[in-house]
């Protein structure tokens, strides 16, 4: 058996403690599988005294994660502190610069700094791995970079934020409003007190940008992800969608169009009978479409101590076994500068308008849609709610630009009381 792989863990929250528990629990099994023992040598966190439910007495302590990353006795640095900059970034860079492997769950850091960090890793021969950063425990980065490596990838998409999926499915199952379910999710610890990063789609968009880079061999381009949260989804939208055979999901889609990569994280309608439509609660699901394999689906827990630790251990085990490939599956320097798709792909849309109940309003709206060749598949006018007349329209497949122009014109009508809600119907 070869010499131990010496590990440092920076961050001792739920995930860090989970990684330590897993290595302590499965020491013999992991050594048998890896052909060498995994040995935690040192740890770091903000507060030394806190009880984290794991025995840390055999590990050296460092107050400074950068000092931890640079220790001579460390081969692999696990970063589970979080934060897109600051100590997380500084310590990962220090580890990579010193030729030490880095395993991180930090989606925000990699979405913003993934390219230079991958280049730094390759310059020193270190591995940079991030399975835990995308879709929790699901080994989807490995599936994309290795298992499906023979395929050209056409589209990768998924539900990658458990909080949002919990809120949307809970609204549907209980008939409660968005605000009420969010409050309950906060009370249960499923949502943060400041929930925007989750419900605004930002967390999921970080993950999507990493998947897109991995799938298409392009540089991470978080800035080009079109992001829309779930805050404006009403119970009525969910019911309307259900009546038509759809569920509303915060869906991330990255696809290769003729003119470039399209990256969207937004609430979409997906068929109720599809795997994505069936996904309930905090689970995550990623769908990958390859040119030879067709469609494959990966489902599992998207967060939590055990699942996140499992993903980190998967990366650690690869490194222990010497299975090291570039962070995004191809040498970082050769990754293409992504050309962002300028027009996006065509789709049918679910539209909800809030209009004044004034004569002629519907005619004006219909004529604007018609003028831009947005054709109506079905329409439903709801009973007036005070002076508001909610109107739902489902379009036929339409170019995105035409729809945007029409919606802007409708929004400018004096009869329009709020920005229309436009949800893409994603074809599966």
Catalytic positions: 207
Show the tokens assigned to 168: 């949307």
Q: Can you name the residues that pair with 375 across neighbouring β-strands? A: none
Task: Return d(Cα 358, Cα 53) in angstroms, integer.
Answer: 64
Give 262 or 318: the residue with its C-beta nearer to a second copy: 318
Angle at 417 between CA 416 and CA 418, to 5 degrees: 100
- Binding residue for a second copy, selected from 4, 13, 26, 180, defined by CB under 8 A: 26
Q: Can you name the residues that pair with 267 across neighbouring β-strands? A: 250
173 binds a second copy (CB under 8 A): no
Give 153 or 347: the residue with its C-beta nearer to a second copy: 153
- Binding residue for a second copy, selected from 138, 241, 250, 410, defined by CB under 8 A: 138
Binding mask 108-137 for a second copy (x = CB under 8 A): -----------------------x-----x
Q: Which of 47-55, 114-122, 146-154, 365-373 is the region at the interface with a second copy (rule: CB under 8 A)?
A: 146-154
Give 272 or 388: the residue with its C-beta nearer to a second copy: 272
230 binds a second copy (CB under 8 A): no
Residue 388 burial (C-beta neighbours within 10 Å; 0-12, 13-18, 19+): middle
Q: How far is the CB of 365 from a second copy (least distance, A)?
A: 39
Report phi then psi at 41, rounded to 5: -110, -30
Task: Return d(Cα 331, Cα 311) in angstroms, integer.
Answer: 22
104 binds a second copy (CB under 8 A): no
143 binds a second copy (CB under 8 A): yes
Angle at 85 between CA 80 and CA 86, to 5 degrees: 85
- Binding residue for a second copy, selected from 49, 150, 189, 360, defined by CB under 8 A: 150
Cα dist from 375 to 237, 346, 368, 398, 402, whole Å: 20, 13, 11, 8, 11
Give 34 or 410: the residue with its C-beta nearer to a second copy: 34
Q: How far is the CB of 325 from a second copy (least distance, A)?
A: 6
3-state secondary structure of 133: helix
Strands 153-159 and 246-257: antiparallel
Task: Return d(Cα 310, Cα 137) in angstroms, integer.
Answer: 6
Q: How far is the CB of 268 from a second copy (least distance, A)?
A: 20
Please say whether the beta carbons of 398 and 348 come within 8 A. Answer: yes
* Stretch 319-378 residues interacting with a second copy (CB under 8 A): 321, 323, 325, 329-331, 334
- Binding residue for a second copy, selected from 127, 148, 319, 393, defined by CB under 8 A: 148
What is the chain's alpha carbon radius of gyration, rounded to the nearest angstrom? 24
* Residues at the site binding a second copy, with contacts judged by CB under 8 A: 18, 22, 25-26, 29-30, 32-35, 131, 137-139, 142-143, 145-152, 217, 273, 275, 278, 290-301, 306-307, 309-314, 316-318, 321, 323, 325, 329-331, 334
């Amino acid at each position: 058996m070869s010499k131990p792989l010496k590990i440092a863990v920076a961050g001792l929250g739920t995930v860090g403690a989970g990684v330590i528990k897993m290595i302590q629990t499965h020491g013999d099994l992991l050594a048998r599988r890896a052909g060498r023992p995994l040995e935690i040598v040192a740890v770091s966190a903000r507060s030394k005294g806190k009880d984290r439910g794991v025995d840390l007495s055999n590990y050296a302590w460092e107050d400074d994660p950068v000092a931890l990353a640079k220790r001579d006795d460390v081969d692999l640095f696990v970063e589970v502190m979080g934060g897109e900059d600051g100590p997380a970034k500084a310590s990962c860079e220090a580890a990579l610069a010193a030729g030490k492997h880095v395993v991180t769950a930090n989606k925000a850091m990699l979405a913003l700094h993934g390219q230079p960090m991958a280049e730094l890793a390759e310059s020193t021969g270190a591995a940079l791995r991030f399975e835990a950063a995308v879709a929790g425990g699901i080994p989807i980065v490995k599936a994309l970079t290795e298992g499906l490596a023979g395929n050209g990838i056409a589209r990768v998409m998924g539900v990658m934020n458990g909080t949002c999926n919990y809120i949307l499915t809970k609204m549907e199952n209980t008939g409660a409003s968005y605000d009420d379910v969010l409050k309950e999710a906060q009370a249960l610890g499923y949502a943060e007190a400041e929930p925007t990063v989750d419900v605004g789609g930002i967390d999921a968009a970080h993950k999507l940008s990493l998947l897109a880079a991995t799938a298409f061999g392009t540089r991470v381009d978080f800035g080009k992800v079109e992001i829309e949260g779930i805050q404006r989804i009403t119970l009525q939208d969910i019911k309307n969608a259900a009546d038509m055979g759809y569920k509303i999901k915060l869906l991330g889609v990255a696809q290769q169009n003729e003119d470039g990569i399209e990256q969207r994280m937004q609430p979409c309608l997906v068929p109720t009978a599809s795997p994505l439509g069936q996904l309930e609660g905090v689970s995550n699901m990623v769908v990958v479409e390859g040119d030879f394999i067709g469609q494959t689906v990966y489902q599992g827990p998207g967060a939590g101590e055990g699942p996140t630790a499992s993903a980190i251990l998967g990366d650690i085990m690869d490194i222990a076994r010497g299975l090291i490939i570039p962070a995004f599956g191809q040498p970082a320097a050769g990754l293409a500068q992504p050309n962002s798709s300028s027009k996006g792909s065509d789709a049918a849309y679910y539209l909800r308008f809030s209009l004044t109940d004034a004569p002629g309003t519907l005619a004006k709206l219909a004529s604007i849609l018609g003028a831009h060749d947005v054709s109506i598949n079905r329409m439903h006018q709801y009973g007036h709610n005070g002076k508001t007349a909610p109107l739902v329209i489902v379009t036929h497949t339409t170019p995105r630009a035409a729809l945007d122009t029409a919606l802007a014109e409708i929004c400018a009508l004096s009869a329009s009381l709020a920005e229309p809600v436009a949800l893409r119907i994603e074809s599966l």
